[in-house]
Amino acid sequence: MNTQQTNPQTKPNPNVAQTMKMSDKDILNDILFITKAECDLYMHGTIEASSPNVHETFKNVLLETIAIQHETYKTMENKGWYQAEQVQKQKIEQTKQKLANS
């Protein structure tokens, strides 16, 4: 006699897999967020490196990560998933003057 019973909680629920799928927009948004954080870390590694080889390695990885971040941003912008604020030329000039006078 088989006394084993099937526990309904151990069976995979096919609906869970459907609800856990991320959209392309969500995936790209995560990549954008992660690459921004990586750039911050690599920038600090670059400026705090104690040897030329370590400095160069961090700088190269930083530049590669900046390129990935930019590609991701452009893809999202082209799909209408990320809207950058358009700044008026007057505000740009005012900011330049403030920085020049600092």
Whether this prediction's pTM lies above 0.75 is answered by no
Radius of gyration for the chain, computed over Cα atoms and rounded to the nearest angstrom: 24
Phi-psi region of 6 (alpha: psi -120 to 50; beta: other; left: phi over 0): beta
CA 39 and chain centroid, separation: 9
Instruction: Place 83 in a pLDDT band, splitting at 50, 70 and 90.
Output: confident
| pLDDT of 56 | 98
- Count the alpha carbons within 13 Å of 29 in the hemisphere toward its beta carbon: 10
C-beta atoms surrounding 38 within 10 Å: 17
Mean pLDDT (whole number) for 84-89: 86
Domain ranges within the chain, ordered by starting residue: 23-80
* Residue pLDDT, tens place only, 15-37: 655 667 899 999 999 999 999 99
pLDDT score, position 17: 58
pLDDT > 90? residue 63? yes
